[in-house]
């Protein structure tokens, strides 16, 4: 079984550290999505695997063998770029066959048969004799995928391949890529800044920030059990709400805002330390008025309607807030702008993070374990 391992991999560009001491491992046939904000080191990591960037320190191993010093053409790896990078003077058939002509001793008949087979898989068989200029964006993307797939590589690298497509086509291509990867059963690394793509496509997600691996896990793990505040805020749309507080016995306080903790929850925090309370928009319940503990009165500022879901932007009356609290309600629109309502932060739904380190102190009731510190 072939695997791909990163062992304390670091990449520096002068004084800038793009990737910092990253270690992780991919299994044969796995679809890993690397996600993070622009400039976090995603594409640099991909380019080091492909051999387009040198590794400053550390080791990359494919099937147990170090590859960081091998030439790109000697690595059994294929890459699809964001820009498609098709040869404009060649037909689709020429684009797809060129790599095999240069790197193998296959005869023309075998190459043509492989081009035809891949064309049928990608539903572009009728386009094989067209020029790239005659193709739509989605068709060009399929050709770029075909040019990489035809090599039958050990590792398939995708660098934000859908970012140039419109929303509808992007959603369709997400499904096609998943189906294709399942058919090929090839180890795939997919880079994106779109957390929706990460959640819907990957067997696992690797979350990067400032060149450091924040968490690697299944989409469900990263969503429900984030290692730290960054992961909690980056994964999920709309983003998790955060309230900065200070623990005072069994209460979290900030500028008039108080949140009552149960005895079990009190044991997860240290009195006097800063604690960030996090709650996802869809975990907030709305009521006509606040009546119970941990229910808060708020005024609706903006209502975003989105069919079956509505986002309410709420300004709490307790405490000083610089940004509104967002609540997502999967129901008919019951409230309007400027309404005063109650919002409920159920203790079973909240996250707690250390105010200084950002590390998770408590997950919702789905998991009561303390999160491991990222390596």
pTM for this model (two decimals): 0.88
Q: Between the CA of residue 230 and those of 352, 359, 371, what are the distances in Å? A: 13, 9, 13
Is the pLDDT reported for residue 87 higher than 70? yes
What is the C-alpha to C-alpha distance for residues 294 and 369, in angstroms, rounded to an integer?
23
For residue 163, is it left (φ>0), alpha (ψ between -120 and 50) or beta? alpha
**Domains in the chain: ranges and CATH:** 4-224 (3.40.50.300), 239-362 (2.40.50.140)
pLDDT tens string 125-176? 999 999 999 998 888 888 888 888 888 889 999 998 887 777 787 888 888 8
Is the pLDDT reported for residue 367 higher than 70? no
For residues 247-254, average pLDDT: 95
Is the pLDDT reported for residue 210 higher than 70? yes
Confidence band (pLDDT; 50, 70, 90) for 1? low
Percent of the chain at pLDDT > 90 equals 66
> Phi then psi for 344, rounded to 5 degrees?
-110, 125
262 against 2, higher pLDDT: 262
The mean of the pLDDT values for the chain is 90
Indicate the Cα dihedral angle 267, 223, 28, 145, nearest 10°: -160
pLDDT tens string 172-200? 888 888 888 888 888 999 999 888 889 98
Helix and strand numbers, DSSP H then E, in the chain: 9, 21
């Amino acid at each position: 079984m072939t695997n791909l391992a990163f062992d304390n991999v670091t990449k520096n560009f002068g004084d800038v550290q793009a990737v910092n001491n990253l270690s992780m491992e991919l299994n044969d046939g796995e679809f890993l999505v690397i996600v993070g904000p622009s400039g976090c080191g995603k594409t640099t990591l991909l380019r080091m695997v492909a051999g387009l960037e040198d590794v400053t320190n550390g080791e990359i191993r494919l099937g147990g063998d170090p590859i960081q010093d091998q030439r790109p053409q000697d690595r059994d790896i294929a890459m699809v770029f964001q820009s498609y990078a098709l040869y404009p003077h060649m037909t689709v058939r020429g684009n797809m066959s060129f790599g095999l002509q240069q790197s193998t001793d296959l005869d023309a008949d075998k190459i043509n048969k492989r081009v035809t087979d891949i064309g049928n898989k990608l539903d572009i068989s009728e386009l094989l004799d067209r020029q790239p200029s005659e193709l739509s964006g989605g068709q060009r993307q399929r050709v770029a995928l075909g040019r990489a797939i035809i090599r039958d590589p050990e590792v398939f690298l995708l660098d934000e391949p859908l970012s140039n497509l419109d929303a509808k086509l992007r959603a369709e291509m997400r499904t096609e890529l998943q189906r294709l990867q399942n058919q090929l059963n090839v180890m795939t690394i997919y880079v994106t800044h779109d957390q929706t793509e990460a959640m819907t496509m990957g067997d696992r997600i690797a979350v990067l920030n400032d060149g450091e691996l924040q968490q690697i896990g299944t989409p469900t793990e990263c969503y429900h059990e984030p290692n730290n505040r960054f992961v909690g805020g980056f994964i999920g749309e709309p983003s998790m709400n955060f309230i900065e507080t200070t623990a005072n016995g069994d209460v979290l306080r900030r500028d008039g805002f108080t949140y009552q903790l149960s005895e079990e929850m009190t044991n997860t925090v240290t009195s006097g330390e800063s604690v960030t309370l996090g709650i996802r928009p869809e975990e907030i319940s709305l009521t006509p008025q606040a009546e119970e503990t941990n229910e808060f009165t708020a005024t609706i500022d903006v209502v975003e309607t989105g069919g079956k879901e509505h986002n309410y932007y709420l300004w709490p009356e307790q405490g000083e807030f610089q940004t509104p609290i967002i609540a997502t309600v999967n129901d008919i629109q019951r409230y309007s702008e400027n309404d005063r309502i109650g919002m409920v932060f159920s203790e079973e739904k909240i996250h707690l993070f250390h105010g200084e380190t950002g590390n998770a102190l408590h997950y919702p009731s789905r998991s009561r374990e303390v999160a491991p510190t990222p390596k």
